[in-house]
Structure 1
Amino acid sequence: MSEHITIRRLTTMDEMPLMQEVEEAVWQMSPIPVHQLYTTVNNGGLILGAFDGDRIVAFSYSFPGFNGEQTYLCSHMLGILPKYQQSGLGVRMKHEQAKHATDMGYQMMTWTFDPLQSLNAYLNLTKLGARGARYKVNHYGTMDDRLNKGLETDRIVIEWHFNDDEPLEQPNIDDHISLVEVNNGTPEAKPNRFNKNQHAYLVPIPTNFHDIKTNQLPLAKTWRAETRESFTWLFNNGYQARAVIPNFSQQLAYYYFLKEDHHETHSID
């Protein structure tokens, strides 16, 4: 567990290389320059470091965003060393971000994530109660880092109104229609199942996508293409991703999409 980990803001020029250490270890790419990090924290941005004793083991990096109507905090990177992943530290980091963001005057936080990464999806939607609001096809173009190499960089845009949004009670997947059928591990989009008057839908993704991408790249590309089609239908027709329901016996996790004007009031205790 992550209870013994301390989390604090990084604010000085001397502290900026600490974030770079984790960034290089997680993504195996050149880190953001120190001068840019320092400028960010002095102009409405926020960098948090998580420490196991004196050793930094995770960071979050965010800067101000503006969409023409409102200012928000754009949480661009959350990096956690492998040993500390799946320990609850990610949730702690996001809640700590939200506390500081509130004190800084922000009301919303945004970020992007790969929709086929089930652990991130579960953290963002089910644990935090944030909303998957939009879909971006090949958002970052070609990337050669360890986590993205070889695959188009589709992303879901998260919007988190951290003082208002609450996690939904987990729905029963048997009660809803899936827009992707999976046979022997291979997905196939089912557009004939889509009816824009239906209030909710499911879209499955694999729970072991990293292994698929590493060992079966053509299958990984199929997952990207078939789920992209379903995600696009849903987001373009006013649905939001509101939860992820794991089904470990199938090695799948199911996105739960809800029509924006359909209100759910149940929350997780």
Structure 2
Amino acid sequence: MSEKKKFALVTGGSRGIGKAICLQLARDTEYKILINYQSNESAAQETLNAIEKIGGSAELIQFNVGEAEEVQSKLDNWHEDNKEAIIEVIVNNAGITKDGMFMWMKPEDWNSVINTSLNGFFNVTNHLIQKLLVHKYGRIINMVSVSGLKGTPGQTNYSAAKGGIIAATKALAQEIAKRNITVNAVAPGFIRTDMTGELDEKELKKMIPLNRFGEAEEVAHLVSFLASRKASYITGEVININGGIYS
């Protein structure tokens, strides 16, 4: 039997932290990168071009992580076209925010955030896990947030979604450790991306012991380590990367 082609799937991989993770995995590992995006194809294509520029290899896969049937059909089609391939690393990065005070929060703002982050984790990971279990090796890395650990006012929906993934990470890690599959969560604090572009960095960094926002690349280095064989004995962990804001 020929050696399987090994892939790392990064959901929401077209911009921000997701893009940085795609690039870092391409630099540090032998994986071919599967860049998932929902609607911004040009940004995803830019990420792919950047990976090829540094000598890596990647392809695009479009689906909305929150739509279970779409996730299944797109991944099934991909496996059909790539019979010799295994997605060995799953980085559940896709997420959205719909911030607002809880008392005024609309059901759709609650549901869409929970659906993308929490159900998105389920839809993607649940569909791929069977193959990892048979393969007896894998890395599942869930991008969470300081909000999921300490809760952030104005982000009850986002905090609930990320808190849910943190608990799921710990439970799933125990279920599948015997198969050499690790499950960890990475919890960034304030990282300089489009998502934090509206925030008052000057004011907020006063709360951060390191007195600055983090860079997406710093988060990506941590994810790349967890995706490597060097991290074989780390599972069920939530690793904070937040400049000391919650330690």
Using structure 2 for the length normalisation, give the TM-score.
Answer: 0.28
Using structure 1 for the length normalisation, give the TM-score.
Answer: 0.27
